[in-house]
Structure 1
Amino acid sequence: MPKYLLRLLCFTMILGALPVIVIGSVSYSIASRDIEQKVRESNLQILHQTQMRVEQVLRSLQLSSIQYVNSPLVLQAMKKPLDSSEFQEIRDLTSGFNNLQAVTNIDQAYLVNLDQDWVVSMRSFGKLDDFSIRDRIGSYLTYTNSLFWVTQNDHLSTESLPASAGIAEDSQEQMPTLISSDDVVSMVFKIPMVPTNNSPKGFLVIDIADAEISTFLSQNPNTGDMYVLDRDQNFFLNENGQEEKYAALNEEIQAKVETSNQAEGFFNAEVEGNQVAVSYRKSPLNGWLYVSVVSLGQITAQSQKIALVTGVATLVMLCVTGLFAIYGSRRMYSPISRLLQFTKGLDSPVLQTGRRQDEFIYIEERLSTLFSSEKSLREQMKGQHVHLEEFFMTKLLTGKISEEDFRYQGERYDFPADWSSLGVLTLQIDTLEGTRYEEQDRDLLLFAVNNMVGELLPAELRFTPVMIDDAQVTVLASRLNDELQLKEWMHTQAEWIRERVVTYLNLPVSIGISRSYFAIGDTPRAYQESREALQGRVSLGSRIILHYEDIQPRGQTEAALYTQLRMIEDQLASALKQGDEEKTDMYFTQYLGLLADKKLHFSEYPVIMVQLLSRVYQLVQEQGGDVAEVLGEKASMAQLLKLSTLDEMTNWFRKRLFVPVIRFWREQEESQYMNIARRMIRLIEERYDRELSLEACAEELNFHPVYLSRVFKKEAGVNFTEYLAEYRMEKAKTWLQTTNLKISEIAEKLNYTNPTAFIRTFRKITGTTPGKYREQQR
């Protein structure tokens, strides 16, 4: 079957079947959700009814128990001791237990008197220690409420009749052995029931079997598994297998109860790989959680009929749609088949037939091959034509094309023909500092500017714009003959270009304009004039448009200017040596101000700046530094000559020269200071026992005494005399500790002619006399 015919057939079938499938799917989805919601609400209602049944019984039991605890019989009994001789009173107390049976079946009941140490149960009486309940009573003391429920009783066991009861044998026969179940829920009353920080006098404990409470839970299979968790989220109704099965689910329920602070809710979860719907309610009576877990498969079982009906209807519609699709598709495909047969007869290259192609693609490829060769040739010629124009203009601007060559070769290019005069505009980027661009973007930016010029200026007003080195060059053509009008017109064009570049690229540029000329052979000269005009930025600043006529030399520079510049250079060099950044900046500002006042020609700036650069190099070499290592490659003379504006030169000197030189001089000076201080300390260590003064050190080291004093004080922290005295006293301490030399002998060894002067100096530095110091150290 043809490929397009197959696609048409498939599309028709999909178009007919898709609405049925979508409607059926949506209907089934809505019905399933509605059924699920109804089942959830029904389960939650059943859960609520179950809770109400359980709590009704528990509340009735609570009320009956409260009446029993507050009865005069119990209140009187709690105030006195009981023994087996008070048989009638014990009978009355147990009769109250039997009355509680009218509410619900009670497994066991205890009345415990802690102060009098007796226990009355439904079938026995005795001391507290004789009952197994004594272990439970100890745990009940930790509860703070007067009434509470306990679901986990770990120490329930068979309880026999206590021997201490002392009841007659006949009575023992009437009171059978008490057996308490392990699976009970205990309702505990503290006696008295008023909350207090003191220990209670006794307890009323009523045990209800878990099986009794389980009878109130719903046994309807449609409600799924129903169970109850106590306040600590533990199973206590002995549902075998449910505790481990729903452990993770119970943790999730507890988290939802704590986070939502709502007493009821429902959600979907996964239990042992099965999707289930969970409903829960929290009891305000005792904090129990009533939980119902129903399989989602059970909930959605009723929606399977809808799915079956939808599937059958969809299948029928697919069959009907298929029949119509086959018939309609063949009728629609017939004109395409005729067009396909026509294209096969065209004289075109043989196409690949390794795989089945769509008919329209095949027809398109057949037709495209008829025109591809011509189109490809035209595109190639068009692209080469642009490059040839640029190459031709580059040769024209650099003087490699004569007028005869231009007339011969220029006819093939779309250059302006009807012109009277020409002019050259050369555009350069002033600086990339302070812009969002980096230096490596310069060529790309020039390319963008070149394209902008080609779009801004009409083809009849300019030759093809080109890029030469670091500039963009455009030759303008005009019909004007008046030089003033022509100059104004070229300035207007240059201003228009500069404004557009600033607007679109936010790029600072300047433009140089040559003088007007009338012969195409003068184009190289005009190009050089436009570049020379741009050099005027050195004295006039950046972001400007300069005409060649406006930058002609005004005469020779005065000799006095160089003398003044030399004086400022000397002051600047002195400030650099001192490491004074403020003075350096001040003298450099004076230097630049003097150049600005004299209004030098731009050609003189490089000479003067090179002279200043050489002076800075000399400062580095005077300190024994290598210029390349101290300043780096970016501070070379070649980099200086590349700068085109005075602002660039100023920033370059301050950043690349002055800052590194000041840092280098400071490092060298600090190193020299440390060397001098170390040599002076070495002299003290060698000549402390001889006459030694600052002047003697200056003569030894070939420095002025004042300079040595300043250097030593800066590096050592004390002056020379103090350091010498302290060093001599340290020697004296050592001799006083390790030798038996007399004080006068030590003074003589330290070059003190008078022992009194030595003692006075020693006491001034150490705070004690030499004699006392020797006594203290021995």
Structure 2
Amino acid sequence: MPMALIGVLLYYVGTDRVGTEVNKSHQAQLQQSIQQMDDYLSNLEKFVVRVAFDPVFDESLNHFDFTDQFQKTKDLMKSLTLMTESNALLSSVCLYLRDADKLVCDDAGIRQIQTDEDRKLFAALLDEEKPIYWNYGIKQIHKPDLSYKAVVIKLPGGQLQNAFGAFLVYLDPVKLNAMVQKLVSGEGISFLINEHGDYLTDLRSSPTLPTEELLENKLRARIMEENLKENTFIYDWKNESYSVSYGKIAKLGGKWTVVSATPLSQITAPVTSISRMIIGISLFALLTGLLLAWFASNRIYDPISRLKSMFETGITKADDNNEISYIENQWKEHLQEQQALRTRVQQSIPTLRESFLLQFLQGNLYTHTELEINEKMNQLEWDIENKKFAFWVAQLQGLSDLAGTYSERDAQLITFAASNIMLELSSQKLPMVHIMNFQDLSVGAFFVLDSEGTNEQLKAELNRSAEDYIAALNNVLRIKATMVISTITNSVLEAPNVLEQTRRALRFRELHSSNQLLDMGHFILENNERVPFPFELEREIVQAIGMGLEEEAVRLVEAFLVALQQNNNTELMVHQGMMKLLGTIHDTIMKYDVNMYALYEGAHLYEELVQITETNAMVHWFQYKLIQPFIRTLSIAYDSGLRRSIEQLIGQIGRDFLSDISLEAYAEQLQMSSSKLSKVFKQITGVNYIDYITRLRIEKCKELLYTTDLKINDIAELLRYQPSYLIRIFKKSEGMTPGQYREKHSHE
């Protein structure tokens, strides 16, 4: 009740006094704001005079080449920018050059005036009889749809005629309007007009009223028409009294008037509202005080009880003696669990990233878009947007040369150590690196590179790091390596294909144990060069295997491998030659009716051979995996005496194949049946007797066709064949007739 009495006294006694004091304060604030605006314009006036008489801006600018003289152009643009930043009311500064027909602006750059309309508009600025004056409706050339308030400064300064150009100093309408609108708040209005009564700021009255009924127009008309002695007066408008204050500013040849109007009800509103609020609160408090006292006593414990019950869900209820301590302890436990969970998530991110990259680089995520890949990598704390991507692939070699140091069982350990070395070296320079262990003495690295440098710079850095890695392998593991550096791609979706191409490029390494560094960008495959194949060595290898000569066969395989390397030393071409040899040996073994599945225990010979990358390992594989098991099988079936007899018989057939010879005659010579001789001959040589004789005669026929001019009939008689039969078997063997064979080789 005392508060209610104070509210009534305050309402009736304090309203007039407070209104008067607030009005005085408002008038003082207006004068300060006018003074601030006057200071801004004074600074602008000094700046304008200084610019007008600056000797730097002379008539030579009309003939200045802004393109060739780049540094001076840059200094000029910097000067315009400093002019704009020197005053808070400025939006931009432009230099108009009439003869050059150009505008140089700090925000629009150097602009050529394009249209006659613009040319006349800017030229007319120089016709004004004042050296410095205001223009309230000038436009900017790069914003033709808007008009601005600007100060025009004719150059050179002080001359009314023959000006060669002008500075256009544009005011920022937003900042000017904001400065004026700060004079009032709430329902009050403020605006700025020039000496002609034109508005220089936006209007804030209701847009639903006609223009002639706006409060701004009423106040402007009174200020322009009446010569008031006071700078403040009371104006009644639409059942409301306004306290109006105004002040004048005269700068740069213009006279501005700042007007501010505030409703008196707004001025006294704080006192009125406070008085009413005091009375209302007093009455309300009187009615609710007792009710709150009763309500609080029953409900003040309820939040603590509910919070305590939330912690007790699913656990034993706590002692009720100290609920606050119980809640505090439970909250600490929850925070600890949350921190532990966050730590586990952070620790699992590298593993999740490794798994995702493994799936992606293997090509299993080909259905994903680039945006989806980027989003997924962002979740895994890798930002790969606007990045470049590249790969390393390294093949470890020379392990067989260090037999005393490493064994075949150490291959996985060596690969693991090489991948760790690669991770340590590459992560020192790049934060986003993924290392791949292919488990076959080869490792790879996926790099996410910054897009700032050029591809040549990035490739040079990768080359330097690759050389460091090879040196580390040589020093730490004592092994050699071949490294392939991929091309650099800008699309993460191309990464799996780039990796596959880079791994394939390892097949182009030279098969020796020295270090090699290959660049995917330098591969050129020549298709027109003929690569000779050692067919003669291939036949000798097959013959040695058929005769059970293991050491001779191994020696020939080594010679065969050397011949392949002399023709083309890349791993790809050597592998293809060794695969061809494996196929020939495979066909020979099948002719001996040997169960190859049982002989080689179901092994996939071609797949095993393609995994071998070193020459010594290839020879070792051919000897112990391929040749030795087969020769042991033959040795069980035939003794050495019978084998020598067949070898002697083969030599005799080579001398007698042009005579009338028969299997029966040779069987009688060897004192065995013809059927047994036929079977033994096929199992040792791989072909039957008739086919062997036919092959010798076909080879002789080819020799005679190539080296002599004998007719086909003469050659057939020499070979003990009918001409028609010879033509038929020759075509079946060579795919062409003897005449076609001779014609083909005659051109060579």
Question: Normalising by the residue count of structure 2, what TM-score does the alignment of the two structures yield?
Answer: 0.38
Question: Normalising by the residue count of structure 1, what TM-score does the alignment of the two structures yield?
Answer: 0.37
